[in-house]
């Protein structure tokens, strides 16, 4: 009986998966750092309005925050995904409470971002079982109640 050694093919597949994941994470990191740079620029532009309204001290603090955000984005952009993963692992080992708190905060912020970006144009209203408001589509009659999507796309509004 001849035994075949398939570990070489499996290792090649794992390397391709790892490379693909690394490149995707790198692209996402670049998008995130570009977004941070845009936020820093927007914050910096708001300082002029503060100065126009005679709030020089606040404008200075906002300017410093924009500078720090820009420096953070630059440092993040200069590091590769592997370095960031190692730094996250080191932080998790040294200060697990800070790591868990930061992960939770990022999760909450990410969920809020996803929720706010997913609702563009969609209106959802709670209806009671078997009721309808009858005022032009605020809620449609439902047999069991619950959430009813009354966005123009779901109600047929705007169709010819």
> pLDDT by residue (tens digit) across 136-147?
444 444 445 455
Instruction: Taking the CA atoms of 104, 108, 109 and 111 in sequence, report the sign of the dihedral they define.
Output: positive
Residues 87 and 57 in one domain: no
Question: Average pLDDT over the chain, rounded to whole?
Answer: 74
* Dihedral of the alpha carbons of 97, 62, 116, 37, in degrees to the nearest 10: -90
Of 34, 53, 78, which residue is a domain's last?
78
Within-domain flag for 32: yes
40 lies in which domain range? 20-78
Domain shared by 24 and 74, yes or no: yes
Per-residue model confidence (pLDDT) at position 149: 52
Name the burial class of residue 47, with classes exposed (0-12), middle (13-18) and buried (19+) by CB atoms within 10 angstroms of its CB: buried
In a domain, 13, yes or no: no
Q: How far apart are CA 53 and CA 51, in angstroms?
A: 5
Residues 101 and 69 in one domain: no
Domain annotation covers residue 63: yes
26 and 70 part of one domain:
yes
Please answer whether residues 123 and 137 qualify as being in contact, where contact means their C-beta atoms are separated by less than 8 angstroms: no
92 part of a folded domain: yes
143 within a domain of the structure (yes/no): no
Query: pLDDT digits over 20-75, tens only?
Result: 888 888 888 888 888 888 888 888 888 888 888 888 888 888 889 888 888 888 88
CA 94-96-99 angle, to 5 degrees, is 105
Q: Are 68 and 43 in contact (CB under 8 A)?
A: no
Number of domains comprising the chain:
2
On whether both 51 and 62 belong to a single domain, the answer is yes
């Amino acid at each position: 009986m001849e035994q075949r050694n398939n570990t070489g093919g499996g290792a090649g597949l794992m390397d391709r998966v790892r490379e693909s994941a690394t490149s995707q994470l790198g692209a996402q990191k670049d998008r995130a750092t570009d977004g941070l740079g845009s936020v820093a620029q927007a914050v910096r532009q708001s300082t002029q309005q503060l100065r126009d309204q005679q709030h020089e001290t606040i404008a200075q603090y906002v300017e410093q925050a924009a500078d720090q955000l820009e420096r953070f984005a630059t440092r993040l952009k200069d590091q590769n995904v592997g370095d960031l993963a190692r730094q996250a692992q080191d932080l998790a080992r040294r200060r697990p409470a800070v790591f868990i708190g930061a992960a939770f905060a990022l999760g909450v912020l990410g969920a809020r971002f996803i929720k706010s970006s997913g609702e563009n144009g969609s209106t959802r209203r709670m209806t009671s079982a078997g009721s309808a408001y009858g005022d032009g589509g605020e809620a449609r009659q439902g047999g069991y109640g619950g959430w009813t999507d009354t966005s123009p796309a779901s109600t047929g509004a705007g169709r010819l």
